[in-house]
């Protein structure tokens, strides 16, 4: 993977843009955009302290937001253009939401919701939920 760019968002988060493209045949590439962002879990993000503690027990002090978008069988000559379009589309469509002040809270609560809705995935980390 090749690091492309860091973006500092107004809500204090830092987003990383990565290029995970790879050759799949002599004349074609799988173009893949990877977005990564660490979101610290804070007690103020949760309705109850227990929700905060369970989320930290499962995921640690920081959640790792990741987004992937790919295009397969892209001709070699179009690789850069396709990747640039993926980045532009992401910035236009998703970046305004990720940059909102409420995003870290919503992300944190979604991780807790995942624990509640899928307890079997986390039983080894939490014991009896």
Give domain limits for the chain: 2-126
Residue whose pair of structure tokens reads 């509640």 in the numeric block: 116
The model's pLDDT over 41-59, given as tens digits with 9 standing for 90+, comes to 999 999 999 999 999 999 9
Which pLDDT score, from 0 to 100, does residue 128 have?
A: 57
Query: pLDDT per residue over 56-109, tens digit each?
Result: 999 999 999 999 999 999 999 999 999 999 999 999 999 999 999 999 999 999
Distances (CA, A) of 81 to 44, 62, 64, 68: 42, 34, 28, 17
């Amino acid at each position: 993977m090749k690091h492309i760019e860091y973006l500092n968002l107004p809500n204090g988060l830092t987003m990383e843009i990565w290029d995970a493209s790879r050759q799949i045949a002599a004349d074609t590439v799988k173009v893949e955009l990877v977005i990564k962002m660490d979101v610290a879990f804070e007690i103020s993000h949760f309705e109850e302290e227990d929700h905060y503690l369970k989320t930290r027990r499962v995921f640690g002090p920081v959640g790792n937001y990741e987004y992937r978008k790919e295009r397969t069988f892209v001709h070699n000559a179009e690789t850069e253009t396709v990747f640039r379009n993926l980045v532009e589309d992401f910035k236009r469509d998703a970046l305004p939401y990720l940059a909102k002040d409420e995003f870290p809270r919503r992300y944190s609560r979604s991780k807790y919701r995942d624990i509640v809705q899928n307890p079997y995935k986390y039983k080894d980390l939490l014991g009896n939920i």
